[in-house]
Amino acid sequence: MRYLVHLLAAAACSGVIAQPALAQYPTRPIRIIVPFTAAGGVDIVARTVGEKLSVRLKQPVVVDNRPGGGTTLGTELAAKSTPDGYTLLVGPVGGAAIAQAYYRKHGYDLRRDFAAITKIGFGTVVLVVPPSLGVSSVKELIALAKAKPGQLTFASSGTGALIHLTGELFKQMAGVEILHVPYKGSSQLLPDLLDGRVSMALDSMPAHLPHIKAGRLRALAVASLQRSAQLPDVPTLSEAGLTGFQSNTDYALFGPARTPKDIVALLNRETNAVLQQADVRAKLAAQGIEVSGSTPEALHAEVLSELDKWTKVIRAANIKQE
């Protein structure tokens, strides 16, 4: 009997006996925390993916909206949840990196407190100007900004958010001085942009696409590394001369740190399978979201890269929490 106990213990240590986490997972509903209000892009992504995961995992997947603190409230809640695969987080990569670098107080660290599962997809950020500005390319816009330092303006959806920091990245990479004008969302900045009261915006594409198609706004470039399927004739900022420029509204799936690796692998496999479904891709494409998918390792590397990039942008621009 004593020999059998030792044998079983040795087998468990060597991995011969499987860990029970995966064999018993999932047996109850899974919660996905979304650190934004309902009906926004992240919420739509979470509900679309969660609905399909529920079918594949044979358990309810419930979205729990926890907005506030520039995403830090919901993100912290997820970070401090039990790492058993039953509480997950769908949130932005770049936006979360910015929040960590921008806000002075938060109870988590993206580098150590999350288990990366998979990248879900990304939305395109587009550089738009009113036709009245009189420029038709990024080169012309930069030349105008250099000729009129501090006189051009760029609109954003709020200080410290991704769109603001994307504008600051543009200023730094282009070597220009453009005045930031913060608004409370894209719907608030659009009237001033359309009327030419602000010079430009680097913003999420869906809000601006109808005006681009109608000729009321001019798209000079997109901020992704590849061209957008919805604006195939518009170059990337990298193609337009700002080599390596990248900023996306992106979406990814995380669990708390120390979530068992077999559960992470299962969720990665099942989520990536969901992302290949034609109806999922079509629904997300209608929201301007391009599906990607990834390995956990690739997502973790992206988190580290984005945190490093946006921390540098914030420090270089000397941006302080308001």
pLDDT per residue over 172-199, tens digit each? Answer: 999 999 999 999 888 899 999 999 999 9
d(CA 163, CA 154): 10
218 and 284 part of one domain:
no
Mean pLDDT on 156-183:
95
218 and 138 part of one domain:
yes
Query: Contact at 8 Å (CB) between 207 and 179?
Result: no
213 and 255 part of one domain:
no
For 53-75, b/e burial (b = at least 16 CB within 10 A) is: bbeebebebebbbbbeebbbbbb
37 and 84 part of one domain:
yes
Q: What pLDDT is stored for residue 1 in this prediction?
A: 43
Classify residue 18: in a domain, yes or no: no
d(CA 21, CA 7): 22
User: Whole domain around residue 169: which residue ranges?
Assistant: 124-222
Count the neighbouring beta carbons within 10 Å of the beta carbon of residue 151.
12
Domain end marker among 222, 240, 265:
222
Preceding peptide of 60 cis, ω within 30°: no
pLDDT confidence tier of residue 280, bands split at 50, 70 and 90? very high
Q: What pLDDT is stored for residue 2 in this prediction?
A: 43
Half-sphere exposure of 235 (CA within 13 A, CB side): 14
283 and 215 part of one domain:
no
Query: Contact at 8 Å (CB) between 64 and 86?
Result: no
Classify residue 21: in a domain, yes or no: no
Mean pLDDT on 139-154:
98
Q: What is the DSSP letter of 107?
A: S
Q: What is the DSSP letter of 112?
A: T
158 and 218 part of one domain:
yes
Q: What pLDDT is stored for residue 322 in this prediction?
A: 76
pLDDT tens-digit series, residues 94-141: 999 999 999 988 899 999 999 999 999 999 999 999 999 999 999 999
Classify residue 146: in a domain, yes or no: yes
Q: Tell me: pLDDT of 260 over 50.
A: yes
Enumerate residues 6+ apart whose C-beta is below 8 A from 283.
48
CA dihedral 72, 281, 55, 49 (to 10 degrees): 0
d(CA 198, CA 183): 11
d(CA 155, CA 157): 7
Higher pLDDT: 6 or 114? It is: 114
d(CA 140, CA 221): 12
Q: What pLDDT is stored for residue 21 in this prediction?
A: 59
213 and 129 part of one domain:
yes
Q: What pLDDT is stored for residue 9 in this prediction?
A: 44
Cα angle 187, 125, 269; round to 5: 115
Q: Residue 180 sits in a domain of what CATH number? A: 3.40.190.10
Q: Tell me: pLDDT of 6 over 80.
A: no
Q: Tell me: pLDDT of 262 over 50.
A: yes
110 and 133 part of one domain:
no
Classify residue 108: in a domain, yes or no: yes
Name the token pair of 8: 């079983």
Q: What pLDDT is stored for residue 50 in this prediction?
A: 98
Count: domains in the chain? 2
111 and 256 part of one domain:
yes
Q: Tell me: pLDDT of 15 over 60.
A: no
211 and 164 part of one domain:
yes
136 and 118 part of one domain:
no
